[in-house]
Structure 1
Amino acid sequence: MATLLVGDVHGCYDELQALLRQAAFDPAADTLWFTGDLVARGPKSLEVLRFIQSLGDSARVVLGNHDLHLLAVAEGLQAPKAADQLQAVLQAPDRDQLLQWLRHQPLIQQHAEFAFLMVHAGISPLWDLTTLQQCAQAVATQLQSTEYPQLLAALYGDQPDHWSSELSTVEQWRYTVNVLTRLRFCYPDGRLALQCKQTVSAAPPLLIPWFQLALPSTQGQQVVFGHWAALMGQGTPPGFYALDTGCVWGGKLSLLRWEDQHYFFQPSCSNRDGVGITLSE
């Protein structure tokens, strides 16, 4: 039995299948953990969703910003972007089944035995573990309810950028989703700097990568995340694992076998630069 952690797939179905062959994935015995952004920008988001859903309990998923955007587009709350290549999902005969499955995935996953926590993007330095769990669960509960469009409509925007328990319910939802699915940098006081998408070396001096701040919520746990392709899996402190290595941008898809800390890499089938898209997006 193996615990296999996979970086952002972004519709790169062929690379995912090749990577799983490398790792000798056995769905009857192994568990696949995905860092989110299953869909968008790559050519086969529909195939990716169908495959991961078919794994049942052999898959663990956290939602990424592109996964949530797909749900918002499906509800008519956001306009589809041609570069996202999501029409096959939106027009699929099993669309409703796939989208219902997607919105029932959480924003965080924890492994009790191995003491690691998985998120798509980042963790607020202003949260303790209880607050992190409660905020993530509040969003998941709303997303899984019949009133989930109310949540999806409230997600867009960069404010509030600072946590307070006195924020309104909608503000708490937006802050939570921005942290867990969009965060890269913070200011020294913990405020979110969501507009900065550069590499660490190119960022303004005042900004700090979220994983370099004190994080009360992660004490005693290691953290696995995706989202930040520009890191290419490098530059994180011990106990932090950055698994998005930019497959959809012409990089590679990464998989970490947790038990022996062995990495597998599958190069992109082609260089998909997109139009106006950079590796850091």
Structure 2
Amino acid sequence: MAKYAIGDIQGCFTQLVTLLDQVDFNPSQDHLYCVGDIIARGPDSLACLEFLHNNAGAVSITLGNHDLHFLACLALNKSPNPKDKLAPLFASPKCHTYAEFLRAQPLAIWLQKQQTFISHAGLHPHWSIEQACEYAKFAESMYQGPDATDFYRHMYGDHPTKALTQLDDKDKFKAIVNTFTRMRFLTPEGDLELNNKSGLDKAGGLVPWFELCQLPPQVRVLFGHWAALEGKTNKPNIIALDTGCVWGGEMTLMNIKTGAFYQQR
């Protein structure tokens, strides 16, 4: 049995199935961990969701910002942004089935045996693995619960600046979602700065979150979200899997056990 992690898919169905064919992925034996942003911007989000749903027993997804935005739009009866190319998904008779499949997915995964943490945007350097998993569970209980629509409605807007312990449930939800799905740069004090989406050469006095991480070398973090990194963090145990397939780059797949990488443009 092999375990694989894959970077942001974003509707690039051809590259997804080509990569899985490349490693002879067998859903009856192997497992695929997706770092989120399964949909949006690419040519065939519907096919990607259909494929992953059909292989649900062999797939785990840490939700990304585009995935949660889709769920929020559906719950709040909002039209998707045309540039996300999600009209076929919203028009599908199985749209709500696929939405429930996504809604059941977590924000973070900790693979104890492999000492590997997976989320869409990474791990806040002020959080331990244990804290991060606890915060993820809290947010999951909100978007999977009966009041999910209220929390989706509150998911947007400025990032709360207070400590999590000082926030009400809705602001706590927003802060946790922002960290797990939108984080790139931080201020030197460790606060999220959500406007700069560039690479490391245009940090402008900000610090990439992983530069402040103090993890044991045997603990790995696998994340996506930040295509401008082009897969480079300069830290062997902090692994960026979003290599910008939807923007003309490559889709990246990693064998979690061996560390081998596979790419498809």
TM-score range, shorter chain: over 0.9
| Structure 1 Cα separation of the partners of residues 53 and 178 of structure 2 | 25
Identical positions, percent: 35
| Structure 2 Cα separation of the partners of residues 211 and 78 of structure 1 | 35
1:17 counterpart letter in structure 2: V
The answer on whether the counterparts of 1:6 and 1:34 sit within 8 Å (CA) in structure 2 is yes
The 5 Å alignment of 1:1-281 reads: 1-76=1-76, 78-204=78-204, 206-215=205-214, 221-267=219-265
1:208 counterpart letter in structure 2: V
Show CA shifts across 1:36-82 (max 9, x none). 00000011111111111111221111000000011111123644211
Give TM-score, length-normalised by structure 2.
0.95
| Structure 2 Cα separation of the partners of residues 95 and 79 of structure 1 | 14
**Cα 1:219/1:158, change in 2 over 3 Å:** farther
| Structure 2 Cα separation of the partners of residues 176 and 112 of structure 1 | 22
Secondary structure of 1:244's match? coil
Secondary structure of 1:230's match? helix
The answer on whether the counterparts of 1:158 and 1:194 sit within 8 Å (CA) in structure 2 is no
The answer on whether the counterparts of 1:122 and 1:182 sit within 8 Å (CA) in structure 2 is no
The answer on whether the counterparts of 2:110 and 2:116 sit within 8 Å (CA) in structure 1 is yes
**Cα 1:219/1:138, change in 2 over 3 Å:** farther
Q: 1:274 corresponds to which residue?
A: none
| Structure 2 Cα separation of the partners of residues 219 and 178 of structure 1 | 26
The answer on whether the counterparts of 1:40 and 1:86 sit within 8 Å (CA) in structure 2 is yes
1:149 counterpart letter in structure 2: T
2:257 counterpart letter in structure 1: E
Give TM-score, length-normalised by structure 1.
0.90
| Structure 2 Cα separation of the partners of residues 59 and 239 of structure 1 | 23
Displacement of 1:122 after TM fit?
2.4
2:28 counterpart letter in structure 1: A
| Higher mean displacement: 93-102 or 127-136 | 127-136
Secondary structure of 1:75's match? helix
| Higher mean displacement: 174-183 or 74-83 | 74-83
Q: Which runs of 5+ in 2 are unaligned?
A: none
| Structure 2 Cα separation of the partners of residues 232 and 94 of structure 1 | 34
Secondary structure of 1:227's match? coil
Secondary structure of 1:9's match? coil
| Structure 1 Cα separation of the partners of residues 159 and 128 of structure 2 | 21
Displacement of 1:129 after TM fit?
2.9
Secondary structure of 1:117's match? strand
The answer on whether the counterparts of 1:161 and 1:193 sit within 8 Å (CA) in structure 2 is no
**Cα 1:187/1:243, change in 2 over 3 Å:** same
Secondary structure of 2:166's match? coil
Show CA shifts across 1:226-257 (max 9, x none). 00001111133121110000000010100011
The answer on whether the counterparts of 1:124 and 1:215 sit within 8 Å (CA) in structure 2 is no
| Higher mean displacement: 16-25 or 70-79 | 70-79
Secondary structure of 2:164's match? coil
**Greater share of helix residues, 1 or 2?**
2
Secondary structure of 2:32's match? strand
| Structure 1 Cα separation of the partners of residues 114 and 203 of structure 2 | 33
Displacement of 1:214 after TM fit?
3.1
The answer on whether the counterparts of 1:162 and 1:190 sit within 8 Å (CA) in structure 2 is no
1:248 counterpart letter in structure 2: V
2:253 counterpart letter in structure 1: L
- Number of aligned residue pairs: 265
